[in-house]
Amino acid sequence: MNRISSHLGLVPLDDRRRPEPPALVLVAHGSRDPRTLATVHELLDRVREQRPDLPVHLGHIELNEPLLPDTLASLGTAEAVLVPLLLSRGYHVKRDIPEMAAASPARTRVAVPLGPHPLLVETLHARLVEAGWPTAADETVRRESAVVLAAAGSRDPDSAVDTRRTAQLLADRLGVPVVPAYASAATPTVDTAIRALTARGRHRVAVASYFTAPGLFARQCAQKAPWIAAAPLGTHPAMADLILHRYGQVADRRGAGNCATSDELPALAV
């Protein structure tokens, strides 16, 4: 320690600690289904296991506690990165989350939603294989097979763009057509998509569950499957990887301002 540092009681530059990383706030939608909340908490545990150095918090948009404004209020003026546990752009990502963030004293930035991304495709593929999708299908089987990617649905056209991108990535992975379909607010419905594929000679139609956790929509879509129905994305290890990836995309750009606006959210961030 040099004499000036010793006299002033300062820590020498060589001994400075790295700055604390921004908190990770996982933003879940909220659900009345207790399985959804259990899934979210398990995902949080997986994230904490991978990054024990990170302060990790949970905030809900609605229906469950803690609500996002309460979580942000508890952080005071700390720096935080909000990672939406949502699969596409839409009203929550473009308006609700940024507005809640802007109203808080915390220094916040908002990551893009989880999808589209290859890690989601990895998870969707794994869930289909678990449900019985053949891992070594010949050309005849592929000609008869297809997948309906069942999603919640949104009136926001950007949400449909993102879901279609995920469907295309999954189709590239499987080598069969993958048609996005929706439980509400958008078309086609799962029933309509299944009928269209069957009319094209695709008699082995699987339903891939493009939902983060079990719930009403996921169950209703699975019940329509004429062949196999995959489980929701859930707590597959790739989901925790993707949450941390979205966090890192923002946290690595230190010197944050306020949260990203909807115009700043890229259409196909990976």
Closest CA to 31 of 71, 69, 60, 58: 60
The number of C-alpha atoms within 13 Å of 32 and in the hemisphere containing its C-beta is 2
- Which position among 7, 29, 60, 245 bears the catalytic label? 29
Active-site annotation holds for 117: no
Q: Is 158 exposed, middle or buried (0-12, 13-18, 19+ CB in 10 A)?
A: middle
What string of DSSP letters covers 22-74?
Answer: PEEEEEE---S-HHHHHHHHHHHHHHHHH-TTS-EEEEESSSSSSBHHHHHHH
Q: Which residues contact 79 (CB under 8 A, 6 or more apart)?
A: 22, 23, 106, 107, 108, 256
Q: What does the alpha-carbon distance between residue 3 and residue 151 come to, in Å, rounded to a whole number?
A: 65
Residue whose pair of structure tokens reads 């983060």 in the numeric block: 212
Closest CA to 261 of 117, 70, 93, 58: 93
Q: Is 155 exposed, middle or buried (0-12, 13-18, 19+ CB in 10 A)?
A: exposed
Task: Report residue 256 as tokens.
Answer: 């944050």
Distance set, CA 250 to CA 196, 245, 253, 257 (Å): 41, 9, 5, 11
Active site residues: 29
